[in-house]
Structure formats: C-alpha cells, structure tokens
Chain A
C-alpha cells in the first residue's frame, strides 16, 4: 500500500509551513526532485565518517569510500538490470552523458553524410550536442515530428529508418508533453535498420521501471537529481561491446592504465570514462535514492503517479480557458504543461507562488516543441511519488483564483 503520509515524513521540505502557513505544494519535480532524509543522511554519513578519495588509497577509510562508491554502481546496475557494472559510467548528469556519447562514439563512428534521428520534443540536452556534431562533421539531423495529440509521427519514423541512420536519440518521456514514445517497438525497428538507439532517460528512469535488457537500448542516460538523489551525479549506461570500442572522452587521472611523458594507455571500463575525482558522496546518495525507490517499488511509484496525473488532467480541464499540451490519457508521464487564454505562464507561476505552489513557467529547455504548438511558453506541473490529491486541489483552486484576477 502506497502510504503518502509516511512518505511525506521523509521529506521535511514538503511538510514545514511556508510563507502563508501552508506546506509547500511542490509540483516541479520534472526540473528537480526533492530528496528524502535517507538520501541526505547517506551523503552526510559519507562526509562525516568515511570521506576519502576512492581507488588507490590503501588506508581504511579510502577503502570504505571506494566500497561505498562501487556499491552505488552495483545498485544502479541492478536497478537497470544491466549485465555488468562495467556498463555503468558515472557522469555529472544527463547532459554530460549525452555529450560523452556524441564526442566519443559520435566522433569515431559518424562521418560526413551520416544521419542521426531525434524527435521534435527533445529537450535541449538531447538536441544541441547533436547539432554541434552535425555542424562539425556535416552529419544530417533528421527529426521525428510530433502530432497534435503529443505523440510521435511513427509513419515518418519508419520512412526515416529507410534512409539508414546511424543513431536514434530519443527521450523516453517528454519533459513538456509527458509523452512516452513506444520504445518497445521503436528500438527493434531501429536495430533492424542498422541504427543504434540512445534513450534519454532523464524523465523516464525516475518514474517508470526501466530494464535496459528488455528495452535492448544501446545507450541510456539519466540524472540523479530528478530521482531523489543529489545534483551533480548521473549515469551513462552503454552496452559493453560499444563502450569498449569507444575512445575516452575526458583525459586525466583515473581513466588511465599507464602514463608516460608523451603517451598513455587507457583504463578498463567503466573507469576509462571517469577522469578526475567524481562526485563521490553524490554517487553514494544516488545509491541511497535507489534503495528508497526499491523499497517503495517502482511499479507502485508509477501507479501512484499515473493516478494523480489523470486526476490532475481531469481537474485542470475544468479551469476556464485552459489548454493541455500532450496526451490526455493512456500511458503518459506526469509532466502536464498547459496555457490559459490571455494569461502569460510567468504570471500564472508568480501568482501560484503566492499560494505556496511551485510550478515551472517558460519553455522547459525545449523551445522547438513550443514552436511546434506555436506558443512561446507553457506552465508545467509535474508530479512525483510524494505528491497527493491535496496538491492537485490546491493547484486547481489556485488557478481559478488566477483566472479571476485576470478576468
């Protein structure tokens, strides 16, 4: 049984009274989640009890620090059902992980005239690295359009596959529309056409059970801070056969086997891609976040969010002049973006803030999808495991006040 009251007790920021005496109504988990006491404690315990740099240290706390860091890697491996911890690379987050694939795999394998396919709803971090590479190497960027209902135009996708692309870079869940593309059919189709698939899991992994072997994703990237963990830590999963053949991305300590004055040899996976001192306490925090999610059960988390999201969509549609962008039902994520006729998203967010309600206003780092719907910006509410029906009631009554102020 999903006990939201018990969960809320783990998130002090969500229960302490805010400026208006009411607790915070936090509806911006799509941007970053809150962290439970268990995660904060795990990171703090690292600093207060075993802080030392990992690997190579032979003294006790360095060994403990290494063990904590590597056990976080193992927790991530199990969480994703990856075959080996050699496939789990710590990065600073989604953005660095995508840049790593673009700069390492892309630099080696993409040549002038090669094609990379993205979607119209990608956020900037799964768009700009490919644009940069396209400009340098004269590769062609193809785009799967988004239909009016927020889903991908899969007819166009099938046509694009016929052009023989090398890579499909697709978000597992749109951070604006909440759309969940049918990866279970898109990935086999890509493989059949000879393309690899990178899944941007920034919004997917925190919310839905993600099994890299069931998906057969070639690369999967995500950030810790959107799934209860600290900022500054994220993950690149890649199939070992691919990672093995990729050149290093950053050069420096820890990614080497041997260094001479004028040359070096590369370390084994996963360290080949982990130059310099990584955010160790944050990695330990990510491990604790995964423990927390496992304790609740990802299926229960997803079911709770889905119920809330459908409830929110239903309630929001009763607000006068409100339009929702993205699927209105079915299997969709918990990001719900909307506009209200005649009221700018910033004004909506400012007025909701006065009621202790945190929503995001703007383009959510995904300007092209806003252009697609011919709107400059939207207001977005996004839900996570600690949100309740009371949050939705506050959102909707707040919005009705906003409408009355601008009436």
Chain B
C-alpha cells in the first residue's frame, strides 16, 4: 500500500530498541506536536567527558514519529553531546530513508529532533530550533 510504511519504519515502531525511561538520568527533554497531541520524551545519561552513554525515548505517537525517535536515539549513543546541536532535518530523514516528506508528516518525523535540540538549546516548544546549528 505504501512506501511511507516500509518494513524498516514498521519494524522500529512495533519493536523499538530504545523505548523506555532512564531513572536516574542526567538529562531529560520532552515536547509535543500540538497538531496531533503526540508527546515525546528523551532521557540521556552522559559521561563526564560529555559522551552520551545511554539514551531512551518514551511517549506516544504515530509510526513515523516513533520510528524516528528510535532511530535518532540509536544514532546519538556514543556521540559527544555538543555535536548533537548541529544535527539537521536531513540527518533525520537520512536515518528514516526518506528523500522528502509532506509538510504534515514532516512534523511527525522531526518531533524527536525537536525534543532533542529544544532540550539542548533550552528552548523547547519551538519548531525553529530544528534549523539552529550553533
């Protein structure tokens, strides 16, 4: 029926590898998509040298937003926390394997990035944070 719902998306949605909450955690960010009420939270444990050691996501959302969160969380483990501030929309679309996405579903795909960067920049709730690169 569709290329939007390829096996990889459905697999990450149905069997997420990084779903859960970290207690205790060093950092925890959350935000929502006001259009659909989807809610996402990302918990991080960070080493003294600023490396993300563990990360998990929780909340509720559609297959696109949940798969995106699972892939994004997987991709940031082992990375320096400062380097995550430069992650872009394209990075996330690459993780998902999309060349492009309509404006509505793009918001679903980028919710995880919005949560992460909003938390890192300390300005959650704003879409503009996605385009910030230091």
Contact = CB atoms under 8 A, between A and B. Distances in A.
Interface of A: 343-347, 350-351, 354-355, 361-363, 367, 370, 376-377, 401-402, 405-406
A361 B36 CA distance: 8
Given A343-B63, A345-B36, 17 more contacts: A344-B62, A346-B38, A347-B63, A347-B64, A350-B4, A350-B5, A351-B2, A355-B1, A362-B37, A363-B36, A367-B37, A370-B37, A376-B36, A377-B36, A405-B1, A405-B10, A406-B10
A345 B62 CA distance: 7
Contacts of B80: none
Nearest to A342: B14
Contact of A347 (B35, B39, B60, B62): B62
Interface in B33-71: 35-39, 60-64, 66
A375 to B, nearest CB: 9
B46 to A, nearest CB: 30
Contacts of B64: 346-347, 350
A53 to B, nearest CB: 37
A346 B2 CA distance: 14
Contacts of B62: 344-347, 350
A405 B37 contact: no
A363 B36 CA distance: 6
Contacts, number: 57
B61 A401 contact: no
Nearest to B66: A344
9 contacts: A344-B60, A345-B36, A346-B108, A347-B5, A355-B1, A361-B36, A363-B37, A377-B37, A402-B1
A376 B1 contact: no
Contacts of A354: 1-2, 4
Interface residues of B, number: 19
Nearest to A355: B1
A303 to B, nearest CB: 35
Contacts of B108: 346
B25 interface: no
Contacts of A346: 36, 38, 62, 64, 105, 108
Q: Which 4 A-B pairs have the closest CB atoms?
A: A344-B62, A346-B62, A376-B37, A347-B63
Contact of B60 (A350, A355, A376): A376
B116 to A, nearest CB: 21
A354 B3 CA distance: 10
A350 B36 contact: no
B100 to A, nearest CB: 15
Interface string B68-112: 000000000000000000000000000000000000010010000
B130 to A, nearest CB: 19
A351 B1 contact: yes
Contact of A405 (B5, B38, B61): B5
Nearest to A375: B37
A362 B35 CA distance: 7
Interface string B2-44: 1011000010001000000000000000000001111100000
Contacts of A343: 63
A345 to B, nearest CB: 8
B2 A362 contact: no
B126 to A, nearest CB: 20
B108 to A, nearest CB: 6
A405 B5 CA distance: 8
A404 to B, nearest CB: 9
A223 B51 CA distance: 55
A344 B39 contact: no
A354 B4 CA distance: 10
Nearest to B59: A376
A258 to B, nearest CB: 46
A123 to B, nearest CB: 15
Of the listed residues A343, A350, A370, A401, the one surrounded by the most CB atoms of chain B closer than 10 A to its CB is A350
